[in-house]
Amino acid sequence: MTSASGTVRWVVYIVECREGSLYTGITNDLEKRLAAHNEGNGARFTRGRRPVQLKYCEQQPDRSAATKREAQIKNLSRSEKLRLIEQYQS
C-alpha cells in the first residue's frame, strides 16, 4: 500500500481460513498477498486451508511497527482476535 505521500505503508491483517482458523500476517501489498494466499503461494499455514477471507487489517507506518503489531495480535487468544475483528467490522 502506498500513502498519499508516496511512501510504502505496511499492513497487519487477519484472514479466516476455510475451516475457520485465523492467520495473521503483514504485507505492503494487501491485494497481492491475499491473492497469493488463495492461489496456494502464501504462507504454509494457509496453503491447505483455502480459500481465505480478509477479516481485519490495520496500517502501520513501517515494517518494524507492522512486525511488532503482528506479534501482539498473534499473542492474543482466539476470542480476543474475534473481538478485534468484530470491532473492526462495526
Tens-digit pLDDT profile for residues 1-26: 555 555 679 999 999 999 999 999 99
Tens-digit pLDDT profile for residues 27-63: 999 999 999 999 999 899 999 999 999 999 999 999 9
Within-domain flag for 77: yes
**In CATH, what number is assigned to the domain containing residue 15?**
3.40.1440.10
Element (H, E) at 85: helix 78-89
Within-domain flag for 1: no
Q: Which residues contact residue 34 at a Cβ distance below 8 angstroms, ignoring those fewer than 6 apart?
A: 13, 15, 52, 54
Tens-digit pLDDT profile for residues 68-78: 999 999 999 99
Within-domain flag for 67: yes
Give this prediction's pTM: 0.89
Query: How many folded domains does the chain comprise?
Result: 1
Domain that residue 47 falls in: 10-89
Within-domain flag for 4: no
